[in-house]
Amino acid sequence: MSERIFGLHAVQAVLSRQAGRIEEIFVQEGRHDKRLNELLALANKAGVRVTETPRAELDKMVEGRHQGVVALAQSLKASSEKDLPQLIQNAGAGALVLILDGVTDPHNLGACLRSADAAGVTAVVVPKDNSAGLTAVAQKVACGAAETIPFIEVTNLARSMKTMQDAGLWFIGLAGEADRTLYEQDLRGPVGLVMGAEGSGLRRLTRENCDFLASLPMAGTVSSLNVSVATGICLFEAVRQRGLAAQ
């Protein structure tokens, strides 16, 4: 199955890491600048066909800002659920898994993947149903992270969480009503951070399978943050604590 990837960062990331996926690249006719020339050099090195295309045609190919570049590529596949225990075991005490429960907006998923990659996350886990997948929009927003970080879709999230707990992971769920704040929670060691959808939050079974619940202290009038913003805060608090422990 093929898909259309668009945007300079997203297409260049695939060319750099998984060039074999790309079947053809369409670039804006008459555009010649440094960023595009770098991408074209990668395409030439990988032997990928490049076709100059009018801007109007590119606009019809995808919905969103394509930045003058659209690639036809084999669809990016999620990693296997069976890989989870081994990934956690390989990461040891440094295992850090991000679980997104019910995040359906591909923009939010892409932003979460980007933060997860920057924080050195072991894997990102989502349920197969009621969740955004690795769409072209998610890949564009992720700016290359979708190609580097294990992304795993699971059939039964609660059951998969138990499997990960058996592999040594402790789960901390973010919940606004939790008595303990994120900054009071120990995030060292093998940990899974569980983020719910905006508004509805964590589902009941997901919440029940968390070992601890923590909240972000909110001083203003808003009651919650965008899930990708909250995810970035949580991941880098874990990075901060682990860095202090290593000193």
* Residues in binding site for S-adenosyl-L-methionine: 196, 216, 225
Give me the sign of the Cα torsion angle 135, 141, 147, 152.
negative
Instruction: Give me the DSSP letters along 5-20.
Output: EESHHHHHHHHHH-GG
CA 97, CA 156: separation in Å to the nearest integer? 16
Is beta strand 151-154 parallel, antiparallel or unpaired with respect to 123-127? parallel
What sections of the chain are H helices per DSSP?
A: 8-17, 34-46, 55-61, 84-91, 106-118, 136-142, 157-166, 204-208, 227-246
Binding site: what residues are annotated?
Answer: 196, 216, 225
CB-based contact 198:100 (threshold 8 Å): no
Q: Which helix (H) or strand (E) holds 193?
A: strand 191-196
Give me the sign of the Cα torsion angle 219, 111, 189, 78.
positive
CA 62, CA 91: separation in Å to the nearest integer? 38
CA 196, CA 216: separation in Å to the nearest integer? 13
CA 97, CA 121: separation in Å to the nearest integer? 6
